A and B are shown apart, each in its own frame.
Chain A
Amino acid sequence: MELLAFGDTGWGDELFYATLMTIAVSITAMFIGFLFALIFTPLKLSKNKFLNFIANSYTTIIRGVPELLVIYLFFFGGTGAVMFVASIFGYNEYIEINAFITGAFAIGIISGAYSTEVFRGAIQSIDKGQFEAANVLGLNKYGKFFKIILPQTLRLAIPNLSNVWQITLKDTSLISVTGLVEIMRQSYIAAGSTRDPLFFYSFAAVLYLLLTFVSMKLINRLEVKYSRGY
């Protein structure tokens, strides 16, 4: 227990901040993933073959290639890409991108591929009659989408999105290879300096379990909220 004391003598406060960091990265990544899903879901559902191809390539590649490889691509390639874009605008100094942004972006792209599939499945399983009924009621495009389709999509998507959230949360442990101090990295540092890896990695496992447990409870509430009337 001494090892977990707050302050200078223990690792309690460090691990606490690391947990907050894990939560922050996960939420940011999930949000970036939603943005990607917002772009790629319509492409997947579109009748245009070319747009279909783009969206399918995105989801197939991301879901077929290991997360770690994607993270290495961003970690080693991110700086180069940003500097290349900056050099077009005439800025030639060295730019270092923050590990948080690189990590959240890499995990976000992965999470986005899963979210895209979830939203596609949810929209496709909405009864055709709902679209027709909305048309009959004379709703415009936005009313139809936001008032009729989206609430039903959310109800169908939430159980699967909670899986995506779990995957995203666990994937953030991989960002530790880039040096961002989240749970895994902090445990690595603590294990190294105290020579007690068994304790710190087990404690990291407990922290992750706690995060998944609490988030499942919260998501269950959302599920209840969106399925009222069913």
Chain B
Amino acid sequence: MFDAHIVRKDFPILNRLVDGKKNIYMDTAASAQKPLILLKRLEKAYMEEYANVHRGSYWLSEVATENYEKARQIAAKFINAESHDSIIFTRNATEGINLVAGTYGLAKLNEGDEILLSRAEHHANLVTWQQTALKTGARIVYFDLDDCGNFVWNNFATALSSRTKIVAVTAMSNVLGTIFPVEHICKAAHDIGAKVLIDACQFAVHKKIDVQKFDCDFLAFSGHKVYGPTGIGVLYGKYDLLKEMPPYQYGGDMIEHVSYENTTFALPPARFEAGTPAIVQAIGLSASLEYMMQFNFDDIEQYEAELIDYTTKRLLDISGLKILGTAKDKGGVFSFAIEGIHPQDLAFILAKEGVAIRTGHFCAQPLVNALGYNSLARASLGIYTTKEDIDDFIAALQKAKNFFANEI
């Protein structure tokens, strides 16, 4: 059975005091904390196994290359990709999305074509396509969620048209928590000949990714959100599509043959990994992914569902508090507003109580504005979040509320 109290012990930082207070970390949606096993893996990679990859024919380089390529296989296993050749290491999900937009998008989109996005996309999956639309003359079409943040099939289906060439959607909203029915989205998009990119940044933390079941064309996520290092991300692409795509950046390690006049490019994934990659970060990521895979995702989901119910109930006990995003199918993020208290002021007080939450627009400014706010507060759950964390978080909220009740 999954026990967050035991899991918590794997994360050294959660046991330290922050500013003299117990560390109540409620900002996993922004970046997750790191298990000891990852830190040890990074240390080992640097202390015992480090050299550049794909180049030297000496022992250390062979070991480093083997570990780096093994990391690719582990990433493939994590998302159930048909082949590790479909896995491209990027800096983060943002770079993965930029890569698809900047290669496939620029090559395939023409004037009159449409890119279909939800209104809940964060900037990585919105600004990128806005710029691609500007360059290609394609048009962005948005579909709405309902007022609770539910995905509404009819809204999506009516926005989809014969002009839609790319559907780019999150699998889980970082603001509302809404889980998107990606499998059905892919099916409907493919029926009209469109390709689908899934932004799995938040989804990857909470649910099992299965790219073959989803049948998505591209999928991107960031390492640092799945308990891995910063500076590493994964882009999955169907191999036949990757093969058609021009390079994204140019340099070493992505070439087949170079003369002074001309260059032929390597096959994917090497084609999309120009220059020395984030070797140790990729190896570290594989340790974090293996750490996650030791758990049964069904157990994690069940535990999280209970914690979501509990958190929702406790939050709604606070008078004047409104949760933004109450979709039936939602993951562990809670965006909220408390009447009369600015999120920034709230965060100041919570910080003094050792509680880390995010405030602002969470890199999804259009959505937060559309909900009628300039700024919101957000608490998010990780596999190490316990019921006691929620109690401490709620107590801090109450304290903040009392503090401001006397001030306003």
A, B co-complexed: no
Name B residues whose Cβ lies closer than 8 Å to a Cβ of A: none
Name A residues whose Cβ lies closer than 8 Å to a Cβ of B: none
